[in-house]
Amino acid sequence: MISIVFLDRDTLPPETRLRAPVLPHRLTCHARTAPDAVAARISDADVVITNKVRITAEALKAAPRLKLVAVAATGTDVVDLAACKAAGVTVSNIRDYARHTVPEHTFALILALRRSLVAYRQSVLDGRWEAAAQFCYFDFPISDLAGSTLGIVGGGVLGQAVAEIARGFGMRPVFAARKGEAVARPGYAPFDTVIGTADVITLHCPLNDQTRNLIGAREFGLMRKRPLLINTGRGGLVDEAALVAALDAGQVSGAGFDVLTKEPPGPDHPLRRIAARPNVILTPHVAWASAEAIQGLADQLIANIEGFCRGEPRNVVV
């Protein structure tokens, strides 16, 4: 009998079906798990499922039976991978489930900001249309996407899907090479060139030591075209305090963020304080969360566990 413990079931909607694995098992689901409760809850587990609950080296010491950490997401920065490797614990993740939902959300943010949809909607609710005394008014900027350059940081499945949508709008997608790379690979342009020439910049790369604060004060200083900055990738890719300063200085024309360094951010978070500005849109980490994508994630999660238990591990990170 395999003991499976899901540490944060409430990070998936209640309507998402989590089918029973086809193997003898006992599944224990916790709505949420506080950091100081992790060790106790995984102490007798063979398999642990986590989405955002951290699995630390200390917690692993309390789980002698543990063989698999099944991450219910693509990003695995919540797991101490080195400690898992040292302990002989396999780590798996979810892949390619968000190839439609994240790119669509990305363009929802781009379109809303380029056409000032949120600002115009609010102005209508505030009575501005009646006050204008004519059929339209021009209080907020509107720009076409056609003919503009989309800088894409991250050339994986999501970045490629975003590029495909961009071409449909008549945009010119350009992929950025790795920051600091001396010679750009074929199909990529130097990072600084992309940052400096794009009308819209969108981030689709993982968060790691090389990408943390990938966009900061230096990069904002290079942005000659006052681009929109879109982040549906990971919180921490952008220095958020530097972003506020860049917005104040007019170095960027707007920001659409679905991910932040701290989630939920709290009222004192730099971007939370400016969330009511007409050129800022914050969404609560839901770019991944279409009903279709989440069900696909749940199905893949169980398939990862079943594959591991029959000796055919899938989506192995460690």
Which residues lie across from 253 on neighbouring strands? none
Identity at 152, one-letter amino acid code: I
Q: How do residues 116-149 score in pLDDT, each as one tens digit?
A: 999 999 999 999 999 999 999 999 999 999 999 9
Prior bond of 35 cis (ω within 30°): no
Active site residue 234: yes
**Cβ-proximal residues to 237 (8 Å cutoff; 6+ apart), any chain:** 153, 203, 205, 207, 211, 212, 213, 214, 215, 231, 259
Chain segment 305-316, per-residue pLDDT in tens: 999 999 999 999
Structural domain count of the chain: 2
Residues 224-238: tens digit of each pLDDT: 999 999 999 999 999
What's the pLDDT score for residue 174?
A: 98
Asked if residue 134 and residue 28 are part of one domain, the reply reads: no
Task: Say whether 312 is catalytic.
Answer: no
pLDDT band at 34 (very low <50, low <70, confident <90, very high): very high
- Per-residue pLDDT of 161-200, as tens digits, reads 999 999 999 999 999 999 998 888 999 999 999 999 999 9
Q: What is the residue range of 52's domain? A: 2-97+291-309
Is residue 32 domain-shared with residue 153, that is, in the same domain? no
Establish if 317 belongs to a structural domain.
no
pLDDT of residue 123: 98
Catalytic hit among 263, 273, 292, 310: 263
Our answer to whether residue 263 is catalytic in this structure is: yes
Q: Is residue 316 part of a domain?
A: no
Tens digit of each residue's pLDDT (9 = 90 or more) over 259-291: 999 999 999 999 999 999 999 999 999 999 999
Residue type, 125: L
Q: Kindly state whether residues 75 and 147 are assigned to the same domain.
A: no
Q: Are 94 and 73 in contact (CB under 8 A)?
A: yes
Q: Domain for residue 34, yes or no?
A: yes
Average pLDDT, the chain: 97
- pLDDT at position 159, please? 98
pLDDT of 20 > 90? The answer is yes
Least confident of 6-10, 209-213, 280-284: 209-213
CATH number at residue 242: 3.40.50.720
Query: What pLDDT does residue 172 have?
Result: 98
Domain for residue 318, yes or no? no
Same domain, 166 and 218: yes
pLDDT in tens, 63-74: 999 999 999 999
| Backbone CA torsion sign across 293, 294, 299, 305 | positive
Task: For residues 75 and 158, state if they share a domain.
Answer: no
- The answer to whether residues 150 and 9 belong to one domain is no
Residues 105 and 248 in one domain: yes
Nearest to 282 by CA among 221, 219, 240: 240
- Assess whether 205 and 302 both reside in one domain: no
Distance, first Cα to last Cα, the chain: 24
